Amino acid sequence: MTQPTEHETETLLRDSLDRLAARAPDGHEVRNALARAAARRPRARLALVGAVAAVVLIAAGVAVGTRLLTSPEDVPAASPGRPVLAWSPGWLPDGFTEQYRESGPGTAPQVRRWSAGPARISLSAYSTSDPEWAQAPMRIAALPDQVVVRGRVGMVTGDVGTAAGLTWMPDDKHVLVAQVSGVPDARNVAERVADSVIARAAGIRGELHFGPLPAGLHELSTIVQGTSPGDATTEQRAADPARPSIPALRAEIVANPPGVGEAVAVRGTSGSYLAGEGTVVVRLPSGRWLAVSGQLPKDVLVAVADGIVLDAAPDYRWVGSS
C-alpha cells in the first residue's frame, strides 16, 4: 500500500557509517585529507583551521563548532498526533517540490523529501538522545571525506556523481543527513543544501491519529505524502519500543479501497477484513477509505479502527509546493 519510509533505512545507514569508521585512518591522516580537500576546493583559511580543530576536539568527545543563530532549545518538540519537523533547507534546486514528511514523538527520526521527476533530495534529522546515534560525533570525526557545514565538520558518503549523502551535527543534540540522488554534481548540491539548513519548524497535520493502542505498542510516526493537496494521504505507524524500526501497526487514509474481503462491523458501519493482508478497511463519511493493517487478530484491528481520531481539517497546503 505504501513504499518503505526513509527512516526504515536508518539501520543500514548506521551500519554503513560503522563500517567506514572501522576502515578510517587515524587523526593525522584525517588532517592530511582535509588539507588535500582544501587544495582541490579552496575555502576560507579560517574555516579550514576551524575544521581541523573540530575534528581533534570531537574525537576527544567534545562537541564544538559555530552554533546556529537558532539554539537547540528553540527547536520545537514533537507531540503525539501533531508532530513537528524542526529543520528546513533555505535552498533547493529549481523544480523540486516537497512530497513527503514524516516525524513522531520523542526521538523519532524526522524526514522531509523533495522530488523532481525521478530525482530526490531528502533531509533527515536524528537525536543524539537515541543510543543508536549517540556516537555520531566519533563517527563523523573518524571518516576521511570531510567538509565544513556552517562551521561544523561533516562527512560525505556514497558520492558517485549523481548521488551523494552528507551527514553533520548542527549542534550537540541533532544529527542531520542530506541525501541527493538523480542529480548531476550531487555532492555539490548536497553541500549547498546542507549549508542552507536552519532550525525552522514545519508541521505535520494529517487526517488521522491513533486512539487507544494494543498493549505493548506505542506511536512511531506520522506520514503525509503526495504530489499535490488533492492526492495527499496520511499514515500513522505504531511499533514495539524494543523494535522501533519495524512497524507493527499501520493506519492510513487512501482514495481507493485496497481490496474487498470478509464483512465486519467497524466504526458503526460495514467494512471488510482482508485476512491475507491483515487489514481492516472501512469507507469514511468523506468518501475516502480507512485501512488498518498489522499482524494482529481481526478483533484487535477492528478495535484500533474504531478508536482512530479523524481530523476534518488536515493541512495539505505544502504538498507539491517548492
- Domains (ranges, CATH) in the chain? 6-203 (3.30.200.100), 208-310 (3.30.200)
Integer Cα distance of 254 and 226 in angstroms: 11
Integer Cα distance of 88 and 197 in angstroms: 5
Give the burial string for 135-160 (b: 16+ CB within 10 Å, else e): bbbebbbbbbbbbbbbbbbbbbbbee
Residues 6+ apart with CB under 8 A from 279: 258, 259, 261, 273, 291, 292, 293, 301
pLDDT tens digits for the chain (322 residues)? 454 455 454 554 555 455 444 444 444 444 444 344 444 444 333 333 333 333 333 333 333 332 233 333 343 444 455 678 999 999 999 999 999 999 998 888 999 999 999 999 999 999 999 888 998 888 888 888 899 999 999 999 999 999 999 999 999 999 999 999 999 999 999 999 999 999 999 999 999 999 999 999 999 999 999 999 999 999 999 999 888 778 899 999 988 888 889 999 999 999 999 999 999 999 999 899 999 999 999 999 999 999 999 998 999 999 999 8
Going by DSSP bridges, is the β-strand pair 262-266/269-274 parallel, antiparallel, or unpaired? Answer: antiparallel
- C-alpha torsion sign, points 146, 149, 153, 157: negative
CA 281-284-287 angle, 5° bins: 110
Integer Cα distance of 136 and 126 in angstroms: 10
Copy the grid coordinates of residue 174. Answer: 541533532
Q: Are 144 and 159 in contact (CB under 8 A)?
A: no
